[in-house]
Amino acid sequence: MMKKIKLYNKIAKVGTDVFDRERYEVGEAVESPDAIMVRSAALHELPFGPELKAISRCGAGVNNIPIPRCTEAGVVVFNTPGANANGVKELAIAALMLASRDIVEGVNWTATLAGSEDVAKAVEKGKSQFAGNEIAGKTLGVIGLGAIGGLVANAADALGMTVVGCDPFLSVNGAWALSRNVKRAASYEDIYKQADYITLHVPANDETRNMINKDTLAEMRDGVRIINLSRADIVNADDLCEAIASGKVKKYVTDFPTEKTIGKDGIITIPHLGASTAESEDNCAVMAAHELAEFLELGNIKNSVNFPNVSLPRGSGHRVCVMHRNIPAVLSKLTTALSDVGINIENLASGSKGDVAYTIIETDRPAPDIALEKFGLIFEVIRVIVI
């Protein structure tokens, strides 16, 4: 049966080309899709049809997707961690320079000299008002050392900065990827106290929302420069503007302009360009497409934000994939339902993530309808997908 992929926003062709057109229908006009590929379009008000099994976000942030509703419906939400990391890293380095040198102000001032008789003389006379500082020898605090934060930390180290990082959820692979010169801070507070520059690379959630606020700003050094390429609501805009006005914060560079931050002295707003490179868009689209194909064809999950990563290598080809509550004895109920109708289980993989779990069961022959009906009667089961 032809699988349907609906596109929201313009998805790079190199990504959509991953799908074999003999087996997939792909496009913006697709109706009743099995899966969705999206960049920044808001899906919160989008009604989900019963056919929808997965959404893949071409990027890392998923605040444009209704995650709780997807989980309750058994819709797997994927993102593409690391695919746009280099693009964001490069913008973070540019932001460091913008925060250190009055480049934007100087460029804007130079534009006012258009039509002057002696531009060179005017430039030499006025340039001193835009003098800045160098980043070499300064301390950069990196909050969040994931795919992007780790690259930023290493790049800043290579540029001669003292780099201090903190990430309570740092993975083993992430730790191995860090330069040996990157120092570990025991807490965010340690970074606030010693950093000349602070760059934020954390997701926006209940724990991080407004993490930069009046209290945390008070812990920072006078004249600190803050870079936020993560999400706007990680920083409390009102408190930040007060800190800018008082001189507590020297510069704030953000990739997420808001009504409260745009056009303010000391604040540089970039129009969400972090992943806006041809390379990032291609990388994200390709990764997102492969995630969907792997799930729709084999039931394998990798890089999901709401279900655990679970996969099985290709075997007999008969699979039943079950989203269920993370409660004891569910697996035994599933296997019993199959054995009661004479189905032999050849392979099984299961994993959990918070309150939910996911199980792939590979069988010697297709599971009959009666077995699937028994699955549906199990209270803890959220959804069953047959492959």
Residue 173 shares a structural domain with residue 260: yes
Residue 258 shares a structural domain with residue 141: yes
Find out whether 345 and 320 touch, Cβ atoms under 8 Å: no
Residue 65 shares a structural domain with residue 214: no
**Last residue of one domain, picked from the residues 306, 326, 355:** 306
Question: Mean pLDDT, the chain, as a whole number?
Answer: 95
Name the DSSP letter for residue 307: S
Residue 258 shares a structural domain with residue 285: no
**What average pLDDT does range 248-262 have in this prediction?**
97
Residue 332 shares a structural domain with residue 293: no
**Last residue of one domain, picked from the residues 269, 296, 318:** 269
Query: Would residue 120 count as lying in a domain?
Result: no
Residue-level pLDDT at 202: 93
Query: Would residue 125 count as lying in a domain?
Result: no
**201 flagged as catalytic:** no
User: Domain of 180: which CATH number?
Assistant: 3.40.50.720
**What average pLDDT does range 192-221 have in this prediction?**
96
Which amino acid is it at 169?
Answer: F
Query: Would residue 335 count as lying in a domain?
Result: yes
| pLDDT score of 316 more than 80 | no
Q: Where are the beta strands (DSSP E) in 112-203?
A: 139-143, 162-166, 183-184, 197-200
pLDDT band at 292 (very low <50, low <70, confident <90, very high): very high
Residue-level pLDDT at 204: 85
Residue 292 shares a structural domain with residue 311: no
Q: What are phi and psi of 363, to 5 degrees?
A: -120, 165
Q: Where are the beta strands (DSSP E) in 190-316?
A: 197-200, 224-228, 249-254, 267-269
**Last residue of one domain, picked from the residues 269, 294, 325:** 269
**What average pLDDT does range 260-270 have in this prediction?**
96
Find out whether 5 and 36 touch, Cβ atoms under 8 Å: yes
Q: Which carries the bigger pLDDT value, residue 23 or residue 40?
A: 23
Residue 149 shares a structural domain with residue 248: yes
Residue-level pLDDT at 349: 97
Number of domains making up the chain? 3
Residue 351 shares a structural domain with residue 290: no
Residue-level pLDDT at 60: 85
Q: What's the rounded Cα separation, in Å, for the pair 158 and 194?
A: 20
Residue-level pLDDT at 185: 96
| pLDDT score of 334 more than 90 | yes
Q: Which of 39, 57, 231, 319 is catalytic?
A: 231
CA atoms within 13 A on the CB side of 68: 1
| pLDDT score of 108 more than 80 | yes
Query: Would residue 124 count as lying in a domain?
Result: no
Pairing verdict, β 319-325 and 356-363: antiparallel
Residue-level pLDDT at 312: 95
Q: Which of 272, 279, 294, 346 is catalytic?
A: 272
Find out whether 193 and 218 touch, Cβ atoms under 8 Å: no
| pLDDT score of 285 more than 80 | yes
**What average pLDDT does range 50-74 have in this prediction?**
95
Query: Would residue 5 count as lying in a domain?
Result: yes
Residue-level pLDDT at 321: 96
CA atoms within 13 A on the CB side of 281: 14
- pLDDT tens sequence across 152-195: 999 999 999 999 999 999 988 899 999 999 999 999 999 999 99
Residue-level pLDDT at 357: 98
Find out whether 330 and 355 touch, Cβ atoms under 8 Å: no
Q: What's the rounded Cα separation, in Å, for the pair 238 and 14?
A: 42
**231 flagged as catalytic:** yes
Domain span holding position 20: 1-84+276-306
Find out whether 326 and 354 touch, Cβ atoms under 8 Å: yes
Query: Would residue 152 count as lying in a domain?
Result: yes
